[in-house]
């Protein structure tokens, strides 16, 4: 059966909205300092409201196909442009997922492994998944997100002894300034990547509990990110945490059990590889879903798409400093393509549907 449930959709949201903010958290800490976790609470509040709003519009209008929403909100040419920006953002996030995963492997445990070599083992397995039906994607997401969450929880539990809560104090030492809101905006850009999973909405068979389950997924995502920011700040302090490429990796290296077991890096590497592979697959498959009616040869498109992703990911992930500069701009792109544009599109679509229903009711009364 080519359907998913609203509970399954929770996992799609978690699979795309957590991993980036969690992995390169130093980008946000460098801007927000020790108050970054508070910025994440503010951004998380906006994120969960927007998530709930998008689902509400879909339910009220009974329209779960993102193509229909875009093309019924604006004139055709404008809709093509806006949907093109959305697809481009999906493509950029696929590149980001591949580049960061390869860079993590090259920077941390496997220093002698070239970025291109890591990319081959990351991108090649996805070719098998892209040609499968939604049922295969669902099984992949179920297993992968479960592994991702378990790794995240274990890493959190095992690293508690290496944290100092005093590193969070004092709160708002310099007041609420522009950096606090800039950090909130950047984090909101990261959270807004939940829109990557929206093309899968049309496969949900029952919508009665969709709002409730998406709310749960949003709350879990916020909890993961807030705990992650608190963890790296309490472990290293705001200054040190802001100057480490992958803070959770360094934190995982501190883990020691029974005086001789040291394997914390395994949790971080597993979490990172699995998490970014989920994001890459869902981002790429969402592009295929949106363009499904326009692709004459899906196999050729996947081949060209994969090659372009490989080349761009290689250049992006080969230099840590260039990568981290680019990642800041990617959050802004996400904010525009996954938050601002969808908010306008879904709001206009909601207004049109509401006016249409009102006019229909007036005609029925007359």
CB 347 within 8 Å of CB 61:
no
Q: How many CB atoms lie within 10 A of CB 344?
A: 13
Show the beta-strand stretches assigned E in the chain. Answer: none
d(CA 202, CA 248): 36
Query: For 349, left (φ over 0), alpha (ψ -120 to 50), or beta?
Result: alpha
Beta bridge partners of residue 204, listed in sequence order = 4
Q: Which of 200, 194, 192, 193 is nearest to 285 (CA)?
A: 200
pLDDT at position 358: 66
pLDDT averaged over consecutive 10-residue blocks of the chain (366 residues)? Answer: 82 92 92 91 94 92 91 91 95 95 88 88 86 86 90 86 87 84 94 94 87 91 93 91 90 77 80 92 94 87 93 92 93 96 94 77 58
d(CA 166, CA 171): 10
3-state secondary structure at position 261? strand
pTM: 0.93
CB 210 within 8 Å of CB 2:
no
User: Given this structure, which CATH class describes domain 6-348?
Assistant: mainly alpha
pLDDT at position 129: 87
pLDDT at position 323: 92
Domain boundaries in the chain? 6-348
| Distinct helix (H) and strand (E) counts, the chain | 16, 0
pLDDT at position 339: 96
Chain centroid, CA 85 distance in Å: 17
Q: Which of 285, 171, 165 is nearest to 237 (CA)?
A: 165
């Amino acid at each position: 059966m080519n359907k998913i449930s609203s509970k399954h959709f929770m996992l799609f949201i978690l699979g795309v909205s957590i991993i980036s903010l969690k992995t390169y958290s130093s980008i946000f800490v460098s801007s927000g300092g020790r108050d970054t976790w508070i910025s994440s609470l503010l951004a998380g509040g906006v994120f969960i409201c927007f998530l709930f709003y998008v689902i509400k519009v879909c339910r009220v209008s009974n329209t779960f196909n993102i193509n229909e929403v875009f093309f019924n909100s604006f004139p055709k040419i404008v809709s093509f442009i806006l949907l093109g920006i959305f697809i481009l953002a999906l493509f950029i996030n696929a590149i980001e997922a591949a580049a960061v995963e390869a860079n993590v492997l090259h920077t941390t445990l496997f220093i002698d492994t070239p970025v291109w070599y890591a990319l081959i083992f990351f991108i090649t397995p996805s070719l098998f998944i892209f040609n499968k039906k939604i049922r295969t994607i669902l099984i992949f997401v179920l297993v992968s997100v479960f592994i991702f969450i378990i790794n995240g929880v274990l890493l959190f539990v095992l690293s508690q002894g290496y944290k100092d809560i005093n590193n969070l104090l004092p709160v708002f030492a310099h007041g609420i300034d522009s950096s606090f809101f800039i950090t909130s905006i950047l984090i909101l850009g990261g959270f807004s990547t939940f829109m990557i999973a929206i093309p899968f909405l049309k496969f949900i068979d029952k919508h009665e509990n969709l709002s409730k389950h998406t709310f749960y997924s949003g709350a879990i995502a916020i909890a993961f990110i807030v705990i992650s920011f608190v963890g790296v700040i309490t472990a290293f302090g705001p200054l040190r945490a802001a100057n480490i490429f992958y803070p959770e990796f360094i934190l995982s290296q501190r883990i020691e059990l029974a005086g001789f077991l040291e394997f914390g890096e395994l949790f971080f590497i597993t979490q990172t590889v699995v998490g970014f592979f989920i994001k890459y697959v869902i981002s790429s498959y969402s592009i295929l879903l949106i363009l499904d009616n326009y692709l004459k040869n899906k196999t050729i498109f996947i081949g060209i798409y994969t090659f372009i992703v490989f080349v761009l990911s290689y250049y992006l992930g080969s230099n840590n400093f260039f990568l981290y500069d680019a990642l800041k701009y990617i959050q802004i792109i996400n904010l525009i393509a996954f938050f601002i544009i969808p908010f306008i599109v879904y709001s206009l679509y909601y207004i049109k549907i509401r006016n249409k229903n009102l006019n229909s009711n007036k005609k029925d009364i007359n």
